[in-house]
Amino acid sequence: MKFINYLESITGIGFYPLASLLIFFVFFIGVTIFIIKGSKEYFNTLSQLPLNTDNSISNNTSYEEIH
């Protein structure tokens, strides 16, 4: 018996692909809203973090402090 036959025999299996699509869609929309509404200074600070040569992180990296 093939693997697909096992999946077809499970009651309510059609819910899982729909639920996973919904979770992905909600997450994608949430990240998009965060990026659009985000502060440019915050994203600039994050983009400079890999380039910092000192080990200390400045106090501006908190999202709440910039807004």
* Three-state DSSP class for residue 13: coil
Q: Residue 20's pLDDT is what?
A: 95
Q: Residue 56's pLDDT is what?
A: 55
45 located within any domain: yes
Residue 36's domain comprises: 28-49+60-67
Calculate the alpha carbon distances from 31 to 9, 13, 63 in Å. 36, 28, 15
Closest by CA position to 39, among listed 67, 5, 60, 16: 67
23 located within any domain: no
Q: Residue 31's pLDDT is what?
A: 96
Closest by CA position to 61, among listed 52, 49, 50, 53: 49
34-44 average pLDDT score: 91
Q: Is the pTM of this model over 0.85?
A: no
4 located within any domain: no
What is the total count of domains within the chain? 1
For 47-63, what is each residue's pLDDT tens digit?
Answer: 888 887 665 555 555 55
Q: Residue 55's pLDDT is what?
A: 56
16 located within any domain: no
| Position with higher pLDDT, 67 vs 44 | 44
Let me know if 66 is exposed, middle or buried by CB neighbors in 10 A (0-12, 13-18, 19+): middle
